[in-house]
Amino acid sequence: MGEKIRGKAFVVGDNVDTDQIIPAMHLVYDPSDPQQRKLYGRFALSGVPVEQSGLPDGNVPFVADGADKSEFAVIIAGRNFGCGSSREHAPLAISEAGCHAVIAESYARIFYRNSVNGGYLVPLETPLRLIEHIATGTEVELDLSEGVLTDTAAGQNHKLNPLGDVAEIVAAGGIFDYARKTGLLESK
């Protein structure tokens, strides 16, 4: 996993739930239809209250009006990211918006597993309350092999918790690709 992710950070607070990540009214799209699938990206994080959006400044949309992709490559979150219902569409929506990783203090278990199993996002945990150190729009570089997030403007490095047992699944691109790679499933 020698991959690096570079781009802007989008910062949210604690307890961002799956209805904030992809509101229920947008669950009508067919993920197998490429035109409809991109709508999940358009509406990703559209349910986050304005006062929480882009903490600490507020009122920063994750995806600009009318766009399908976000300008943000990494989400920085507080505690319990992805709580609420077990909506598989939540990590899909973030991924479809063009975001590659979420770094949170902790996750709701089902969101974490859906991110890993579907191969949508890299869900990393931080021992530090990064939302107090990084602002929305900060240019960051995430070194997955080293487990380090760098605030490139400030030159500050933040060590992240290792992925542990899910690292191979993430590297393979999801649970089914991992199962094929390891011989648990027949290759296509």
Residue 188 in domain: no
Distances (CA, A) of 67 to 38, 64, 86, 134, 163: 10, 5, 26, 25, 32
Q: Would you state the pLDDT for residue 85?
A: 82
Report the distance separating Cα 70 and Cα 29, nearest Å. 19
Residue 168 in domain: yes
Report the domain count for the chain. 1
Count Cα atoms within 13 angstroms, Cβ side, for 126. Answer: 26
Residue 45 in domain: yes
Residue 13 in domain: yes
Q: Would you state the pLDDT for residue 185?
A: 83
- The answer to whether residues 78 and 56 touch, using CB atoms and an 8 Å cutoff, is no
Q: Would you state the pLDDT for residue 188?
A: 67
Residue 126 in domain: yes
- Can you list the residues of the chain whose pLDDT is less than 70? 1-2, 50-58, 188
CATH at 9 = 3.20.19.10
Phi-psi region of 4 (alpha: psi -120 to 50; beta: other; left: phi over 0): beta
Look at the pTM and tell me if it is higher than 0.75.
yes
Q: Which amino acid is at 150?
A: T
- Per DSSP, 155 falls in state T
Strands 72-76 and 4-11: parallel
Which tens digits make up the pLDDT trace of 119-149?
999 999 999 999 999 999 999 999 999 999 9
Distances (CA, A) of 154 to 60, 102, 121, 151: 22, 20, 26, 6
Residue 186 in domain: no
Q: Would you state the pLDDT for residue 1?
A: 46
Q: Which two tokens stand for residue 171?
A: 């590297």
Angle, vertex CA 131, rays to CA 172 and CA 89, nearest 5: 45
Residue 187 in domain: no
- Give the structural domain span for 44: 4-181
Residue 143 in domain: yes
Q: Would you state the pLDDT for residue 2?
A: 54
Q: Would you state the pLDDT for residue 53?
A: 59
